[in-house]
């Protein structure tokens, strides 16, 4: 389904002459984090709910433009770019402009997330693992080779954390069990941050550790 089919127009944008009290009333009725502001059909930006309650109700929005945030996406933007824009701006409403900078509506975060939930990363059966390695020591080609050499498929992969000199990669793996894959990642110098309960390597280590504890306590 084309992403622009999710564009909504049921919220009338505010204008510079709109009073803060009117915007506050919108926030009381709706669960949106921001409201868009237009002047003569030109998009000016969004005012957040948090900021709206910091101003006097009888102030027009023209007096509080310094608090307006100018984020938006194009109607041609890919859904991953739209999702990134939501995350970067900490909002649940995203104004949409066409190629001529005309405001044509907005996306809701819940609709974009629903597209993400329909991808094989979440919809297909498989297991999740998180591996870690030095920033310059890993490659996605190596990760793919490790997974595919075990007759498994990668349903999704992304960098989920970068801290100091280490990078964590989250993988969704199909055609599991994961035990052989996890062992190969260890053999290639990856640290396993988390894995599926099918990680029999860790299970075996725990069983041997428990056995050794019992033996030493005899």
**Residue ranges of the domains in the chain?**
3-116, 120-215
Given a cut of 50, whether residue 215 has pLDDT beyond it is no
| Percentage of the chain lying above the pLDDT 90 cut | 68
Cα–Cα distance, 214 to 218 (Å, whole number): 6
Other C-beta atoms closer than 10 Å to the C-beta of 7 total 17
Cα–Cα distance, 149 to 23 (Å, whole number): 57
Give Cβ neighbours of residue 14 (< 8 Å, ≥ 6 apart): 22, 23, 26, 35, 36, 37, 38, 47, 61
Among 33-42, 68-77, 108-117, 209-218, which is the least confidently predicted range?
209-218
Instruction: For residue 93, give the nearest of 135, 45, 140, 60 by alpha carbon.
Output: 45
Residue 22 per-residue DSSP state: H
Given a cut of 50, whether residue 90 has pLDDT beyond it is yes
CA 46 to mean position of chain CA atoms: 21
User: For residue 47, what pLDDT is reported?
Assistant: 97
Instruction: For residue 148, give the nearest of 184, 189, 122, 113 by alpha carbon.
Output: 184
Q: Sorting pLDDT into bands at 50, 70 and 90, what band is 216? A: very low
User: For residue 116, what pLDDT is reported?
Assistant: 77
Pick the CATH number of 3-116 from 3.10.580.10, 3.80.10.10, 2.40.30.20, 3.10.129.10: 3.10.580.10
Taking a C-beta distance cutoff of 8 angstroms, is the pair 46, 68 a contact? yes
User: Exposed, middle or buried, 117 (CB in 10 Å: 0-12/13-18/19+)?
Assistant: exposed
Average pLDDT, the chain: 87
Q: Sorting pLDDT into bands at 50, 70 and 90, what band is 181? A: very high
For domain 120-215, give the fold.
Alpha-Beta Plaits (3.30.70)
């Amino acid at each position: 389904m084309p992403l622009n089919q999710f564009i909504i127009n049921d919220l009338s944008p505010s204008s510079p002459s709109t009073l803060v009290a009117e915007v506050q009333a919108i926030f009381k009725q709706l669960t949106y984090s921001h409201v868009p502001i237009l002047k003569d059909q030109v998009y000016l930006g969004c005012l957040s709910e948090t900021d709206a309650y910091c101003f006097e109700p009888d102030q027009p929005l023209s007096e509080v433009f310094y608090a307006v945030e100018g984020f938006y996406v194009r109607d041609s933007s890919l859904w991953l770019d739209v999702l990134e824009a939501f995350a970067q701006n900490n909002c649940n409403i995203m104004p949409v402009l066409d190629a001529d900078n005309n405001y044509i509506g907005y996306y809701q975060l819940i609709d974009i997330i629903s597209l993400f939930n329909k991808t094989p990363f979440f919809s297909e059966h498989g297991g999740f693992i998180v591996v870690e390695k030095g920033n310059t020591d890993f490659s996605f080609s190596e990760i793919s080779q490790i997974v595919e050499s075990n007759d498994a498929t990668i349903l999704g992969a992304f960098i989920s954390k970068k801290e100091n000199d280490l990078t964590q990669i989250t993988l969704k793996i199909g055609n599991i069990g994961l035990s052989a894959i996890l062992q190969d990642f260890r053999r290639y110098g990856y640290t396993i941050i988390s894995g599926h309960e099918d990680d029999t390597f860790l299970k075996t280590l725990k069983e041997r550790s428990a056995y050794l504890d019992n033996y030493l306590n005899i």
